């Protein structure tokens, strides 16, 4: 019975077994998760099964590729596949076969797309985030409550946090008093005695200012996007890393925040014409400004600041008699608006308030509403305010759209970039429906299960070592990296293999991490550690491990040192021999073998089925001598 089967449209296809050469690469060495694939075209034998599954090979369509969704079965493993029909040969159809885990369906998708939006007010249908709005949302207390609710929790109990990050000059230095961020307190997700610090504004006829004290920026635990992405396929997150206390505290520093800008002008001081009695007086007439005796309501008001002021009015007048509004000061008309006929009367009257002489009060102004028939509008809006510049108030938007807080990477890139930084081994098990994230050093090199091989294998000529030295670095050239070689006389030059990561170091001072414009401008995604025991700030390390690459407890010493010494001392060879499907499955799963008393890690596997239903296999391996 064949160990390698191809099923298309419910029909098993006969193929030349030697053609189906499959390659598996170990992400611990390749640096990326790859799809299993054959290394050369596959010949499908032309027979009744082929005709039933793939139809006639039409001569007129030669040169046009046809695709067939299929299923590949290797022992107990069943994987989706695509057959690409290339051309017709004598007794065969030349095809290409591509197959792999069903997780390949999501590997090219943005990992942030799997992360659900969050509504701080509990809305089942959160509105879309927007950076500007015309009015306040009024949900700052909900943010305060939620920040307190999650403050003592880490992954997996919560998927994100609001750590307090110091960022003193986020909006510049020497801000003027009319700058919207003049009152900013120098912290992201800042706290005060009542919890998460709120923003507020003071706005009336006497005073107008915005207190944008705080900036809210959700930080996502790095494991959460992986969990959401694979949960969409029913896969579970396993391995030692998701349960490691250091990695359960690891947060990504976002570039965005959750604030929404709301342009504001002072609403002014309202004037109520119903609060004063009618009296008779003269007002300027509509025609030629001739004084006209009518009924008036007078309201006095006194500004407290010099400068341009505005009186706004909006009312609906019935009837066809003379009516209107005007402003006087010390009996002198300053501005007016009058009409003879009914309708909507709206507009503004502008007046300038002079700075009084020393020890003198500001002048009193009189607003006059006049109506020949004593008509009081059913609805009206009248008020005055100082004509100040528009200021921007920053409110907290109730919706968190996590695509703004997770790097713009697809699922595969996200996994590969974190695996590179922390030297992780990522394995996908389609039978168990799991994605296992483990440490290359501790879980694989040191304690990984060994598959003993009790047969003679052909040993190819050893290859040269991959590199004589390695240099682990962050994404920029400012943060310190770590150079490692086997000999002191080896230099860090063009022959050094660089392990460049996609991240950057965020310094820590006193009780939390500290950002600056210079740090923000560096390449890389920032990382911080959140420990509930020291909330709401971050910690510089946890249980002796920190986020610096060099130094005691750093990333190199904690996750790379033993692995790099292994690679510097490894002999890279190729082993060849036949294996049963059970043996091949064990080698593929654990990728660590013992041959003639020598331990090897398996870097890549190439195999194809022979006529005896065994798999002719080539193993690219690295000897373990450190």
Per-residue CA distances from 566 to 417, 465, 570, 603 (Å): 21, 11, 6, 13
Provide the mean pLDDT of the chain.
Answer: 91
Per-residue CA distances from 466 to 40, 220, 416, 495, 566 (Å): 26, 36, 20, 10, 11
CA distance 364 to 572: 93
pLDDT at position 613 over 90: no
β-pair type (503-505, 525-530): parallel
Is the Cα torsion angle 418, 419, 424, 430 positive or negative in sign? positive
Domain boundaries, the chain: 4-100+572-623, 111-266+393-410, 269-387
CA distance 98 to 95: 10
Please tell me the predicted confidence (pLDDT) of residue 206. 61
For the residues 386-396, what does the mean pLDDT come to?
87
For the residues 167-171, what does the mean pLDDT come to?
97
Please tell me the predicted confidence (pLDDT) of residue 620. 96
- Of 71-75, 402-406, 590-594, where does mean pLDDT reach its minimum? 71-75
- What is the dotted CATH code of the domain comprising 269-387? 2.60.120.380
For the residues 519-542, what does the mean pLDDT come to?
97
pLDDT at position 49 over 80: yes
The percent of residues above 90 in pLDDT, for the chain, comes to 69
pLDDT at position 237 over 80: yes
Tell me the per-residue pLDDT of 513-525, one tens digit each, with 9 for 90 and over.
999 999 999 999 9
Answer for the pair 37, 623: CB distance below 8 angstroms, yes or no: no
Answer for the pair 202, 194: CB distance below 8 angstroms, yes or no: no
How far is residue 382 CA from its own chain's centroid?
Answer: 47
Dihedral through CA 411, CA 412, CA 415, CA 420, nearest 10?
-150
Locate tokens 């300027």: which residue? 284
pLDDT at position 59 over 80: no
The percent of residues above 70 in pLDDT, for the chain, comes to 96
Please tell me the predicted confidence (pLDDT) of residue 431. 84
CA distance 24 to 30: 10
CA distance 368 to 345: 14
Q: How confident is the model at residue 39 (pLDDT cuts 50, 70, 90)?
A: low
Q: How confident is the model at residue 185 (pLDDT cuts 50, 70, 90)?
A: very high
- Beta-carbon contacts of 553 under 8 Å, excluding residues fewer than 6 positions away, are 541, 544, 545, 546
Cα–Cα–Cα angle for 271, 273, 277, rounded to 5 degrees = 135
For the residues 492-514, what does the mean pLDDT come to?
92
- The beta strands (E) that lie in 75-186 are given as 77-89, 92-100, 118-119, 160-161, 165-166
Report the DSSP beta bridge partners of residue 110. Answer: 410
Q: How confident is the model at residue 37 (pLDDT cuts 50, 70, 90)?
A: low
Helix (H) or strand (E) holding 529: strand 525-530
* Higher per-residue pLDDT: 462 or 434: 434
For the residues 573-595, what does the mean pLDDT come to?
95
CA distance 106 to 411: 7
Cα distance from N-terminal residue to C-terminal residue, the chain: 42
CA distance 223 to 156: 8
* Higher per-residue pLDDT: 585 or 58: 585
CA distance 395 to 147: 16
Please tell me the predicted confidence (pLDDT) of residue 1. 58
Q: What string of DSSP letters covers 342-399?
A: -EEEEEEEEEEEPPPPTTPPPPPEEEEEEETT-PPPSSEEEEEEE-PPPEEEEEEPSE
Locate tokens 């590997």: which residue? 107
Please tell me the predicted confidence (pLDDT) of residue 36. 64
For the residues 404-432, what does the mean pLDDT come to?
95
Closest CA to 292 of 333, 334, 329, 348: 333
- Residue 597 neighbours by CB distance under 10 Å: 5
Could you tell me the maximum CA-CA distance found in the chain, to the nearest angstrom? 120
Please tell me the predicted confidence (pLDDT) of residue 65. 81
Q: How confident is the model at residue 63 (pLDDT cuts 50, 70, 90)?
A: low
For the residues 603-624, what does the mean pLDDT come to?
92
Tell me the per-residue pLDDT of 260-297, one tens digit each, with 9 for 90 and over.
999 987 767 889 999 999 999 998 876 666 788 999 99
Predicted model pTM: 0.83
Answer for the pair 108, 411: CB distance below 8 angstroms, yes or no: yes
Tell me the per-residue pLDDT of 341-371, one tens digit each, with 9 for 90 and over.
888 889 999 999 988 988 899 999 999 999 9
Is 2.30.110 the CATH number for 4-100+572-623? yes
């Amino acid at each position: 019975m064949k160990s390698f089967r191809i099923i298309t449209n419910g029909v098993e296809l006969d193929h030349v077994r030697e053609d189906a050469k499959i390659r598996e690469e170990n992400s611990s060495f390749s640096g990326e998760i790859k799809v299993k694939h054959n290394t050369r075209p596959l010949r499908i034998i032309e027979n009744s099964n082929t005709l039933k599954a793939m139809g006639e090979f039409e001569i007129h369509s030669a040169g046009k590729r046809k695709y067939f969704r299929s299923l590949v079965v290797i022992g107990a493993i069943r994987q989706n596949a695509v057959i690409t029909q290339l051309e017709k040969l004598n007794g065969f159809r030349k095809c290409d076969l591509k197959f792999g885990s069903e997780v390949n369906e999501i590997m090219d998708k943005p990992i942030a797309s799997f992360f659900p939006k969050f509504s701080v007010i509990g809305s089942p249908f959160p509105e879309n985030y927007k950076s500007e709005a015309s009015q306040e949302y009024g949900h700052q207390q909900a943010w305060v409550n939620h920040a307190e609710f999650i403050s003592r929790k880490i992954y997996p109990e919560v998927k994100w946090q609001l750590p307090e990050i110091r960022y003193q000059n986020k909006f510049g230095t020497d801000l003027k008093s009319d700058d919207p961020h003049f009152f900013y307190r120098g912290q992201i997700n800042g706290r005060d005695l009542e919890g998460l610090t709120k923003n507020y504004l003071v706005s009336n006829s006497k005073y107008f200012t915005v207190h944008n004290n705080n900036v809210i920026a959700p930080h996502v635990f790095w494991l959460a996007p992986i969990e959401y992405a694979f949960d969409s396929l029913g896969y579970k997150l396993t391995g030692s890393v998701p349960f490691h206390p250091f990695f359960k505290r690891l947060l990504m520093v976002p570039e965005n925040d959750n604030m929404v800008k709301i342009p504001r002008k002072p609403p002014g001081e309202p004037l109520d014409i119903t609060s004063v009695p009618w009296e008779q007086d003269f007002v300027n007439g509509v025609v030629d400004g001739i004084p006209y005796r009518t009924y008036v309501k007078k309201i006095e008001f006194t500004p407290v600041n010099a400068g341009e002021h505005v009186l706004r009015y909006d009312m609906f007048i019935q009837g066809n008699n003379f009516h209107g509004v005007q402003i006087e000061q010390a009996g002198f008309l300053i501005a007016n608006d009058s009409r003879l006929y009914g309708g909507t009367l709206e507009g503004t009257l502008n007046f300038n308030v002079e700075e009084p002489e020393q020890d003198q009060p500001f002048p009193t102004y009189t607003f006059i509403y006049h109506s020949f028939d004593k008509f009081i509008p059913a609805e009206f809006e009248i008020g005055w305010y100082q004509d100040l510049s528009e200021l921007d108030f920053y409110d907290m938007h109730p919706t968190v759209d996590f695509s703004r807080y997770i790097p713009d990477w697809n699922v595969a890139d996200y996994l590969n970039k974190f695996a590179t930084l922390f030297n992780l081994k990522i394995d996908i098990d389609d039978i168990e429906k799991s994605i296992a994230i483990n440490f290359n050093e501790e879980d694989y090199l040191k304690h990984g299960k060994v598959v003993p091989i009790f047969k003679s294998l052909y040993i190819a000529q050893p290859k040269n070592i991959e590199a004589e030295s390695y240099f682990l670095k962050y994404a920029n050239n400012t943060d310190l990296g770590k150079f490692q070689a086997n000999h002191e006389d080896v230099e860090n030059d063009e022959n050094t293999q660089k392990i460049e990561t996609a991240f950057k170091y965020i310094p820590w001072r006193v009780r939390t991490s500290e950002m600056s414009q210079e740090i923000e401008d560096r390449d890389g995604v920032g990382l911080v550690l959140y420990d509930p025991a020291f909330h709401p700030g971050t910690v510089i390390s946890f249980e002796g491990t920190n986020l610096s690459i060099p130094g005691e407890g750093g990333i190199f010493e904690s996750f790379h040192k033993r692995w790099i010494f292994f690679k510097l001392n490894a002999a890279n060879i190729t082993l060849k021999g036949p294996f049963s499907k059970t043996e091949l499955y064990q080698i593929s799963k654990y990728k660590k073998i013992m041959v003639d008393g020598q331990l090897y890690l398996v870097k890549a596997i190439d195999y194809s089925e022979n006529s005896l239903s065994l798999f002719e296999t080539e193993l690219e391996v690295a000897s373990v001598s450190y």
